[in-house]
Amino acid sequence: MIYRQGDLGITPIKELPANLKKVDNPILAYGEATGHHHKLLERTANQFEVLEDSQGDRYLKINQPTDLVHEEHKTITIKKGLYWVRNEREYNYFEMAVARVQD
């Protein structure tokens, strides 16, 4: 199941890439326009891990169902599994440029 919350997409993957480092921040994305953020709620120890590669792409290892909250979006519960976190992008045909969708 692919999860979406605003401009954030969370896609299941079969395995994690090599050479990831653990990130101790449960915030997956910050809203540039509002200052709001997409945050995983940790209720128990080892509930999830946020990991990052050398390019700054984020990955999740969810060990127990985990809520993702945002001030302007409905809370979603992410099931146990491995995931790739991505920000949506849009293409501007007039400027011929790709930009991150901002929440």
Q: Of 1-10, 11-20, 25-34, 75-84, where does mean pLDDT reach its minimum?
A: 25-34
Look at residue 35 and tell me whether its pLDDT is greater than 70. no
Over residues 48-95, the pLDDT tens digits come to 999 999 999 999 999 999 999 998 889 999 999 999 999 865 445 566
φ/ψ region of 19 (left if φ > 0, alpha if ψ in -120 to 50, else beta) reads left
How confident is the model at residue 45, as a pLDDT? 87
| Strand, helix or coil for residue 34 | coil
- Angle ∠(8,12,16) on CA atoms, nearest 5: 105
pLDDT at 60: 97
Q: Look up the pTM and report it.
A: 0.81
Mean pLDDT estimate for the chain: 85
